Amino acid sequence: MSMLPILDGDYTDFSTRWYKQVGKTLCLTLFLNVFSPYPLRFFWPALAWTRRLYDRGSCQLKKNPEKPNDDECRTKQELQTELQNLYTGPQIFSHYIYAYLFSNLWCCMMYSSGMPILYPIACIFNLILYWAVKILLLKYHQLTHRFNEQLAIQSIHYIKFGLFVHMIVGAVMFTNKDIISPTPNDAIKAITSVVDDLGSNFLRDRFSSTHS
Looking at the structure, do residues 151 and 189 belong to the same domain, yes or no? Answer: no
Report the domain count for the chain: 2
Q: Which of 71, 55, 70, 173 shows the shortest CA–CA distance to 118? A: 173
Residues 195, 174: Cα–Cα separation, whole Å? 23
User: Coil, strand or helix: which one is 62?
Assistant: strand
What is the b/e burial string over 108-122, where b = at least 16 CB atoms within 10 angstroms of the residue's CB?
bbbbbbbbeebeebb
Looking at the structure, do residues 41 and 102 belong to the same domain, yes or no? Answer: yes
What is the residue-level pLDDT of the chain in tens, covering all 212 positions?
456 566 666 777 788 888 888 888 999 999 999 998 888 888 988 888 888 888 777 677 666 666 666 667 777 777 778 777 878 888 887 778 888 888 898 899 999 988 899 999 999 999 999 999 888 888 888 877 767 777 778 888 888 888 888 888 888 888 777 776 656 566 556 556 655 665 555 555 555 555 44
Residue 104 lies in a domain: yes
Residue 144 lies in a domain: yes
Q: What is the DSSP letter of 8?
A: -
What pLDDT score does 117 carry?
92
Q: Which domain holds residue 55?
A: 26-180
Residues 197, 105: Cα–Cα separation, whole Å? 37
Looking at the structure, do residues 173 and 208 belong to the same domain, yes or no? Answer: no
Check: CB of residue 176 under 8 Å from CB of residue 13.
Answer: yes
Q: Which burial class, exposed, middle or buried, applies to 79 when counting CB atoms under 10 A from its CB (0-12, 13-18, 19+)?
A: exposed
Looking at the structure, do residues 32 and 130 belong to the same domain, yes or no? Answer: yes
Residue 15 lies in a domain: no
Looking at the structure, do residues 148 and 202 belong to the same domain, yes or no? Answer: no
Looking at the structure, do residues 92 and 175 belong to the same domain, yes or no? Answer: yes
Looking at the structure, do residues 109 and 48 belong to the same domain, yes or no? Answer: yes
Residue 31 lies in a domain: yes
What pLDDT score does 64 carry?
65
Q: Which of 85, 204, 77, 127 shows the shortest CA–CA distance to 119? A: 127
Question: Can you name the residues that pair with 73 across neighbouring β-strands?
Answer: 62
Looking at the structure, do residues 82 and 31 belong to the same domain, yes or no? Answer: yes
Check: CB of residue 132 under 8 Å from CB of residue 38.
Answer: yes
Looking at the structure, do residues 96 and 158 belong to the same domain, yes or no? Answer: yes
Residue 8 lies in a domain: no
Residue 10 lies in a domain: no
- Three-class SS of 66-129: CCCCCCCECCCCCCHHHHHHHHCCCCCCHHHHHHHHHHHHHHHHHHCCCCCCHHHHHHHHHHHH
Q: What is the DSSP letter of 60?
A: -
At 67, phi and psi to the nearest 5? -105, 105
Looking at the structure, do residues 75 and 39 belong to the same domain, yes or no? Answer: yes
Structure pTM? 0.70
Residue 33 lies in a domain: yes
